[in-house]
């Protein structure tokens, strides 16, 4: 069983990235053949600084290793090191409809924030489909916000197979049952995101303990006083999911644990639990990030292994499409 996922190198990784995706990558190593990719080529579709991008690839790689990815048990690589990603993107662009891409909500959101809306941003989901399909992937662990992109990938794979003969495995998304969409602590009706306007709503994996606690203390809660989930309680519901995810318990059990307790006590408990959860990751990160040569070695070895698979898929694709193999 092959598992593939990608993560952008830009921005600091936050609690949403970690609970929605990164921890699923780590457990994936025990369930199948995990292939994880730092997607530098996706990052250049919006405004960025080249010197920052190079550094943030290392930041993200060190974060994934600190979280528990083991390069002996999975393939961890940088997208730009395997040229077949961009090649397959072009081939898939010729089986993807303009209308399909125009409906992508991430494109609509991101393009609204850019002065120059690049064609690459429009093609972003096609490159993502190429990432996944190159590796004949069965499962794609992602947060809820990526559902639409994975559904597009499935449609494109099925259309390709129908038109040119069976070439790709049609992948499915694996979205966690809790914390699939971690919400902003200050505005719990929007998802936690790197580009949030109010910084206090976003908890970064590498925040200091005091800063983490302060953000949880300041989290927006709802009317009422019970620690209970509900459509009219987006703030408390979000905190319950976070607590459940980091403690490895069911949300119902969290509600039980905090019967009769006040919001203030609960918020502190969530902050404490998150700090405990991130403690080992924060410690390991510092050592791992300090050795760029080693990070480069890990990525280079990963790229070699990834390329061996990608080359074979590309040959099949060229052959199926009537191109020179
Ligand atoms: P990216 O880098 O924005 O996010 C990485 C992962 O984090 C998840 N995520 C969240 N999960 C829960 N709550 C949140 N608030 C939250 N915010 C982010 C995302 O769902 C994602 O799984 N397009 C992708 C990168 C990509 C990719 C791929 C993913 C490129 N190629 C192939 C899967 C397969 C992205 O921008 O993720």
Mutate to test the pocket of ligand 1, among 20, 53, 107, 202 (most ligand atoms within 8 A of CB): 20
42 Cα nearest atom in ligand 1: 30
Q: How confident is the model at residue 10 (pLDDT cuts 50, 70, 90)?
A: confident
Q: Whose CA is nearest to atom 37 of ligand 1?
A: 7
CA distance 202 to 12: 10
Where does the pLDDT of residue 198 fall: very low under 50, low under 70, confident under 90, or very high at 90 and above? Answer: confident
Predicted local confidence at residue 122, as pLDDT: 97
Examine the pLDDT at 299 and tell me if it is beyond 90: yes
Decide: 22 in ligand 1 pocket, CB within 6 A: no
Q: Rounded to the nearest whole angstrom, what is the distance from the C-alpha of residue 16 to the centroid of ligand 1?
A: 9
Provide the pLDDT for residue 162.
Answer: 98
The torsion defined by the Cα of 311, 106, 6 and 68, in degrees rounded to 10, comes to -170
Q: Torsions phi, psi of 261, nearest 5?
A: -90, 160
pLDDT band at 67 (very low <50, low <70, confident <90, very high): very high
Burial of 167 per CB tally in 10 Å (0-12, 13-18, 19+): middle
The stretch 179-183 carries a mean pLDDT of 98
User: What is the percent of the chain with per-residue pLDDT over 70, rounded to a whole number?
Assistant: 100
Q: Which two tokens stand for residue 266?
A: 């609960």
How far does the centroid of ligand 1 lie from the alpha carbon of residue 8, in Å? 7
CA of 21 to the centre of ligand 1 (A): 7
Q: Could you report the per-residue pLDDT of 36-62, keeping only the tens digit for each?
A: 999 999 999 999 999 999 999 999 999
Average pLDDT for residues 86-101, to the nearest whole number? 98
Over residues 155-172, the mean pLDDT reads 98
Q: Once rounded to an integer, what is the mean pLDDT over residues 5-18?
A: 95
pLDDT exceeds 90 at position 196:
no
Read off the pLDDT of residues 241-297 as tens digits, 9 standing for 90 and up. 999 999 999 999 999 999 999 999 999 999 999 999 999 999 999 999 999 999 999
DSSP string, 47-90: ---HHHHHHHHHHHHHHHHHHT--TTTEEEEEGGG-THHHHHHH
In order of 15, 20, 237, the CA distances from 189 in angstroms are: 16, 17, 11
Name the band, by pLDDT with cuts 50, 70 and 90, for residue 197.
Answer: confident
Distance CA 178, CA 26 (A): 16
Q: Tell me which of 10-14, 74-78, 167-171, 208-212 is least confident.
A: 10-14
Q: For the packed helices 119-134 and 147-164, what is the interaxial angle rounded to 10 degrees?
A: 70
Which contiguous run of DSSP H or E holds residue 154? helix 147-164
CA of 62 to the centre of ligand 1 (A): 17
Question: Do the Cβ atoms of 213 and 272 come closer than 8 Å?
Answer: yes
Residue owning tokens 């505005």: 187
Q: What's the whole-model pTM score?
A: 0.97
- Is the pLDDT at 195 greater than 90? The verdict is no
């Amino acid at each position: 069983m092959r598992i593939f996922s990608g993560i952008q190198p830009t921005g600091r990784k936050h609690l949403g990235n970690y609970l929605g995706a990164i921890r699923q990558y780590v457990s994936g190593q025990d369930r199948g053949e995990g292939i994880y990719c730092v997607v530098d080529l996706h990052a250049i579709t919006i405004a960025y600084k080249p010197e920052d991008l190079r550094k943030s690839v290392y930041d993200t790689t060190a974060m994934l290793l600190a979280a528990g990815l083991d390069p002996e048990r999975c393939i961890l690589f940088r997208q730009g090191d395997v040229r077949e990603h961009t090649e397959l993107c072009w081939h898939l662009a010729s089986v993807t409809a303009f209308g399909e891409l125009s409906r992508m909500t991430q494109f609509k959101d991101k393009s609204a924030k850019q002065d120059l809306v690049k064609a690459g941003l429009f093609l972003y989901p096609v490159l993502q489909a190429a990432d996944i399909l190159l590796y004949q992937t069965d499962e794609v662990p992602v947060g809820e916000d990526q559902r639409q992109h994975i559904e597009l990938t499935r449609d494109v794979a099925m259309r390709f197979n129908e038109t040119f003969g069976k070439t790709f495995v049609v992948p499915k998304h694996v979205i966690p049952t809790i914390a699939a969409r971690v919400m902003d602590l200050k505005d719990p009706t929007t998802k936690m995101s790197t580009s949030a306007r109010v910084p206090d709503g976003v908890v970064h994996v590498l925040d200091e303990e005091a800063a983490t606690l302060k953000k949880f203390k300041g989290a927006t809660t709802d009317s009422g006083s019970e620690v209970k989930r509900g459509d009219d309680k987006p703030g408390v519901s979000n905190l319950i999911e976070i607590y459940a995810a980091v403690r490895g318990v069911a949300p119902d059990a969290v509600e039980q644990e905090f019967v009769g307790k006040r919001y203030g006590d609960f918020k502190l408990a969530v902050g404490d639990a998150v700090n405990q959860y991130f403690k080992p990751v924060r410690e390991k990160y510092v050592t791992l990030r300090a050795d760029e040569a080693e990070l480069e070695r890990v990525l280079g070895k990963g790229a070699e292994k990834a390329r061996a698979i990608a080359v074979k898929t590309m040959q099949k694709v060229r052959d199926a499409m009537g191109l020179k193999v």
